[in-house]
Structure 1
Amino acid sequence: MKFRAPTAVLAAAATAIVLAGCGGGPSTSTSPTDGTGDAAEPTELVLGLVPSQDVDQLVLDAEDLGTMLSDELGIPVTAEVSSDYTALVTAMQAGQAQIGMFGPIALVQAADEAGAVPILQSVRYGSSTYVTQWFTADTDRFCLDDVVTDDEGYTFCNGTDQAESGPVGEEALEQITADETIAFVDEGSASGYYYPATQLQQVAGIDPLDLSNAFFAGGHPNAVLAVANGDATVGVSFNDARTEVVEENPTIGEDLTVFAWSTDIPNDGVAVSADLSEEWQQKISDAFLAIADTDEGVEVLQAVYNIDGLVAADLDALDAARQVEANFGGE
């Protein structure tokens, strides 16, 4: 069955499709074409990102990454933070950004809708895949076995403490009802919406159209806080987004328990405009890889998106994400 995001949820997530420049205004980056359809030498580039942390901090971290790319490429690279994944895909389509850092579903959308070329994928903890984690404060209802606390005080149940890949704890998802208050992340997020919504349909038989009380929290940390604050019964995020809010909520690992995982998801990645020549596409790829090969560069990549390293984009894995994405938007 194909399905759309619930109308009420989409309305809550509706945002202006614009890019907010890190310097405080819109970019005036020149087009990488010469007007004849042939690739031309770019004189400057725009790197687009989307919030997954505090926006003000991301702006600062993104500026550092833009500076590093500028040094590697020899031309100015302006880093800009868009309102969400949809806005960044649109910016790529409109030529307002030539480089984009996307979640896997948005990476597929950028390729299919904006003609962008996926070039790299992120590596974290030695892996180019990750999972959606489901979390709750209601352990009596969603934990089918004992709650386990790790050495850092974070709680897990249903085997999520020992799992190396997903899915895990899917029986617990059968406890979720169509009127459950669920904190999703963003309508374009793989781990924050596409994969968990697909999982709910497959495991619990719930059409996302029927999730009348679900909402988009606007970021992975926000989804965690929504459940911690009692605004939702369960929430989803990348694994483990609880660490993103531990400074403001030191007991978050104890307050919220991870009770299920999705199937494995390809990591986020980098795409470039197809209007750039193959030479410049390769230059940009090499520049990112050079940055990821230095301690200073890894520090900046970790600050931006918790990235430990970069590898060539896995197109087969992205095809699998494309199949998940294909369930959305159909009639």
Structure 2
Amino acid sequence: MFRKRQSFLVLTLLLIASLTLAACGSSTKQGEQGNSGEKDQELLIGVIPAQGSNQMKLGADKLAAVLAEKLGRPVKAEVYPDYNGVVEAMGAGKVQMAYLGPLTYVEAHERYDVQAIVTQLIDGKPFYHSYLIAPSDSPYQSIEDVVKQSKEIRFAFGDINSTSGSLIPGIALKKAGVFKSQEDHQFKSVTYTGDHTATALAIQNKQQDVGAIDSAYYNNLVKQGKVDGSKIKTIWQSEDLFQYPWAVINSVSEKDRKTIQDAMLAIKDEDILSAFGGASGFTLASDKDYASIRQAAIEDGRLKVKQ
């Protein structure tokens, strides 16, 4: 009887050991699959519609291909129909990296703690301006003329969330007492065109009398022949604005951030550079570069800072 019990005990211990080893093996394979899954996980890039979507799509897709090669995993870019859509996609974790306007960036940083890592250079500098533009034969020569003759002017902003196409010129016009909102103003009419290309074409074709636009995108549109510079004049220029940032959400590792920065700083592809304001290259950026935009957004009531 003792021998039978001993044999039974030995068999039981062997069975337990076998099951334990099998479980460990399964766990190891699952861990290996998990690591592989992280490596193969697609990085999604969201892009705001700053200019014509076709050109931005081409540049964004080529950038995605460059980053995919450097990161060693799939990368996909998508041009969103509006600025806020990109921010919400980042907040939901559907987009891990995004090309944002400065105003959109400070809002996304405040709400979802995204971080700027790269921006573009225009003629070697990381700055641009808000312009007010008008048809070349327009009687308006300055922002003072616009204020004095506001009741005769059809005014065009870009996207309502655009820094240069809305926030900065809007603040200037509010201080002058001729604009509060699309419903409350002293103009003949106020329109939001949605992007900088639409604004430039509206001014060129005299569908609007004065428009607010990003200087870099406007100059690039003229350079590319997409608008006729001889038919448009600049009547006002803002102070320096730090260029549009590329930002990432917190789940993007420091290693991947560094890889992205190094890859973008080395880019020379004209299709990529041209898609983003006619950039001459890319340079590093950080949250502190957008302090002045953050302050302007707070003063304009667009941004509420968490206490």
TM range (shorter): 0.7 to 0.9
The answer to whether 1:247 aligns with 2:220 is: no
Say whether 1:227 aligns with 2:225: no
91-100 vs 256-265, greater mean Cα deviation: 256-265
Tell whether 2:147 aligns with 1:174.
yes
Look up the SS of the partner of 1:135 in the other structure: strand
Residue 231 and residue 313 in structure 1: after superposition, are their counterparts in 2 closer, same or farther (change >3 A)?
same
Distance (whole Å) between structure 2 residues aligned to residue 301 and residue 324 of structure 1: 28
Q: Give the drift of 1:60.
A: 2.4
CA gap of 1:121–1:330, structure 2 versus 1, over 3 A, is closer
Instruction: Identify which of 273, 282, 286 aligns with 2:262.
Output: 286
Tell me what 1:91 maps to: 89
- Per the alignment, residue 10 of structure 2 pairs with none
What do residues 17-53 of structure 1 show as CA deviations (whole Å, max 9, x unaligned)? xxxxxxxxxxxxxxxxx9xxxxx66722001112233
Partner of 1:164: none
Distance 1:42 1:107, change over 3 A: farther
1:194 aligns with 2:170: no
1-structure distance, mates of 2:82, 2:98: 12
- 1:272 maps to which residue? 248
CA distance in 1, matches of 2:126, 2:84: 23
Whether 1:119 and 2:124 are equivalent positions in the alignment is no
Q: CA deviation at 1:237?
A: 0.8
2:62 matched residue in structure 1: 64
Which of the pair has more CA radius of gyration?
2
Alignment of 1:1-331 (within 5 A): 43-137=41-135, 139=137, 141-143=139-141, 169-177=142-150, 180-204=153-177, 206-208=179-181, 210-211=184-185, 213-239=189-215, 241=218, 243-244=220-221, 247=225, 249=227, 252-290=228-266, 292=267, 295-296=268-269, 299-326=271-298, 327-329=300-302
Query: What's the CA shift for 1:110?
Result: 1.7
Whole-angstrom CA distance in 2 between matches of 1:302 and 1:66: 15
The one-letter code of the counterpart of 1:67 is A
| Deviation of 1:185 (Å) | 0.7
How far the C-alpha of 1:188 sits from its partner, in A, is: 1.3
Structure 2 distance, partners of 1:310, 1:197, is 29
The 1:81–1:140 alpha-carbon spacing in structure 2 relative to 1, beyond 3 Å, is closer
Q: Is the 8 A contact 2:147 2:176 kept in 1?
A: yes
- Residue 278 of structure 1 and its aligned partner are, at CA, apart by 2.5
CA RMSD between the two structures: 2.5
How many residue pairs end up in the alignment?
262
Q: SS at the partner of 1:197?
A: helix
State the one-letter code of the partner of 1:74. Answer: G
CA distance in 2, matches of 1:115, 1:94: 12
Using the alignment, how far apart are the partners of 1:304 and 1:138 within structure 2? Answer: 26
Q: Secondary structure of the residue that 2:51 maps to in structure 1? A: coil
Q: Following the alignment from structure 1 to structure 2, what is the Cα–Cα distance between the partners of residues 178 and 237?
A: 21
In 1, distance between residues paired with 2:246 and 2:219? Answer: 25
The offset of 1:275, in angstroms, is 1.9
SS at match of 1:66: helix
Q: Which amino acid aligns with 1:57?
A: Q
**Structure 2, unaligned stretches of length 5 or more?**
1-33
How high is the TM-score relative to the length of structure 1?
Answer: 0.71
TM-score by length of 2: 0.77
Distance 1:140 1:309, change over 3 A: closer
CA contact (8 A) 1:116 1:271 kept: yes
SS of structure 1 residue aligned to 2:119: strand
Q: Give the distance between the partners of 1:48 and 1:315, measured in 2 at CA.
A: 19
Higher helix share: 2
Deviations 1:249-278 (A, max 9, x none): 5xx222221111112211101100112222
* Percentage identity across paired residues of the two chains: 26
